[in-house]
Amino acid sequence: MKTKVKVVFPADPPGRPGWPYIDYDVDSKSAQVLADLREQLPEIEFSSSIVRSIKEAEKLVEKEDGEYDGTLVYMTAMWTRIEQVFASRSRPVVIADDLYAGSGGILSADAFVTREGLPVVTIASSDFGDVVNAVNLFDVMRKMREARILVVSDNDRLSDEDETIEPFGTTVITMRSDRLMELYEAADPDEAERQSKIWKREALEVVEPDDEELLRSARIYVALKTAMKENEADAVAVDCLGLYYSDKLTAYPCLAFFQLNNEGSTGVCEADVRSTLSQLMVRYLTGRPAYVSDPVIDTASDQIVYAHCVATNRVYGKEGLRNPYIIRSHSEDRKGASVESLMPLGETVTTIQVNPDKRLFSIHNGRTVANVHSEKACRTKLAAELDAELVMRNYRFADLGWHRVTFYGDYRNAFVNLATLYGLEVHEEDRPSRE
């Protein structure tokens, strides 16, 4: 199923003087814009309308309500206020300026959107790629609506009924640990052995875990793949610490999550639904894996260390270059198997987190400078430079918890736009508060 996007081109009546000039050829411009969108976003289905009045815009909105996954208003006229009709009544909406045709209007539209508190993104750029990137967010939002997260937990507070997480529309389903262990016992031994040997062969070193431990980790991986298939899940999160500490899991799922994330799927520790939502957004927007961490802030070195026992070694995507990794025991109890991923340095990373209940989204950037080797804390410890004092003061632990989700590349603008379309409050942890 393709994402469906409506592109609206406001137009002045024939003979009216104004920018860009009288009788501007909106028909030709609209055909060019549509051709460029279809070429650069072939997975999206586009349709268009040229709209010449507010009344016509209102009729179109009423007629096509709910038919599209998003609306792009491409401002080929300046003072029609047609964009305000769609901004007020359609969701989600991007308004983009056709430079010199709608440039005063885009400022008016942005002021209107801000004043009314509307979840609308405005684009005023000579780089058409900025429009393409904004429109692509409609595809991300559709995938989030269709996504299903499988949570493996025995926590009685979790519902046995499917739950929808707004504003994303993502479905969360629950599986109990006894069912996962049934799948573990039934796991194909040959498949598990093959996977355990691959991990051992590709690792720089296997320190604490023996072959039997690797095999148990591989059986958990096979079981989780089966569980995801049975439940048509796009991501899985496991209450790994709680279940392992209570002897309900035979092995930690750290290497299983490592493998799932490398394959372009999504595996998340500690049954953390917030971080799973964040990782899914990263996957659908960038095509790259992310990993959850417990960040450690060091103001003396102006660094933040993203520490966890689950990571990825394909930070550029499943077809991208691989970085080295070491197989270690799990940090807290020195049992099981986990991964120390030695990630690329000198690159920008983006870190996000979301709280759907409070409609809150956080983001910051850093530049990777070290893979920290220490027996303290979780095995993977990627250090990045940033304003550590500012991030510490802006962390909002009570609202967002400790976990953050980190991935390679500078995607700040895209994620701020995505959060805006969801109507989330954007909290930039590495920038001074605007209040």
**CATH number for position 123:** 3.40.50.280
Burial code (b: 16+ CB inside 10 Å, e: under 16) for 209-234 equals beeebbbbbbbbbbbbbbbbeebebb
Same domain (yes/no): 246, 312? yes
Token code pair at residue 410: 């500078």
Confidence (pLDDT) at 175: 96
Question: In which element (H, E) is residue 156 found?
Answer: none
The contacts of residue 142 (CB under 8 Å, 6+ apart) are: 3, 69
* DSSP bridge partners of 383: 305, 370
Residue 434 lies in a domain: no
Confidence (pLDDT) at 45: 98
Same domain (yes/no): 57, 177? no
What dihedral angle (degrees, nearest 10) is formed by the CA atoms of 65, 66, 71, 77?
0
Residue 391 lies in a domain: yes
Same domain (yes/no): 40, 169? no
Same domain (yes/no): 206, 161? yes
Same domain (yes/no): 198, 68? no
Give the C-alpha distances (Å, rounded to integers) separating 82 from 53, 85, 283: 7, 5, 34
Q: CB neighbours (10 Å) of residue 301?
A: 13
Which of residues 109, 144, 179 is at a domain's end? 144
Same domain (yes/no): 193, 51? no
Which of residues 144, 179, 203 is at a domain's end? 144
Confidence (pLDDT) at 416: 98
Residue 62 lies in a domain: yes
Confidence (pLDDT) at 371: 97
DSSP state of 324: -
Token code pair at residue 76: 């080929």
Same domain (yes/no): 257, 129? no
- Relative to beta strand 3-10, strand 70-75 is parallel
**Which residue numbers in the chain have pLDDT < 70?**
158-159, 434-435
The contacts of residue 40 (CB under 8 Å, 6+ apart) are: 129, 132
Residue 433 lies in a domain: no
Q: Please, what is the end-to-end C-alpha distance for the chain in angstroms?
A: 43
Residue 351 lies in a domain: yes
Confidence (pLDDT) at 199: 98
Residue 128 lies in a domain: yes
Residue 372 lies in a domain: yes
Whether the pTM exceeds 0.75: the reply is yes
The contacts of residue 172 (CB under 8 Å, 6+ apart) are: 148, 149, 151, 162, 163, 164, 165, 273
Output the domain CATH number for residue 259. 3.20.14
Confidence (pLDDT) at 65: 82
Same domain (yes/no): 242, 294? yes
Residue with tokens 């508190």, as numbered in its chain: 117
Confidence (pLDDT) at 435: 54
Order of strands across the sheet with 338-341?
A: 205-206, 325-328, 338-341
Same domain (yes/no): 165, 117? no
Same domain (yes/no): 247, 285? yes
Burial of 72 (0-12, 13-18, 19+ CB in 10 A): buried
Same domain (yes/no): 93, 191? no
Confidence (pLDDT) at 331: 87
Q: CB neighbours (10 Å) of residue 422?
A: 22
Same domain (yes/no): 129, 153? no
Domain count, the chain: 2
Confidence (pLDDT) at 434: 62
The contacts of residue 278 (CB under 8 Å, 6+ apart) are: 290, 352, 353, 354, 405
Confidence (pLDDT) at 159: 64
Confidence (pLDDT) at 22: 95
State the amino acid at position 269 in one-letter form.
Answer: C
Which of residues 126, 144, 162 is at a domain's end? 144
For residue 249, is it left (φ>0), alpha (ψ between -120 and 50) or beta? Answer: beta
| Cis ω before 189 (30° cut-off from 0) | no
Burial code (b: 16+ CB inside 10 Å, e: under 16) for 105-129 equals bbebbbebbeeeebbbbbbbeeeee
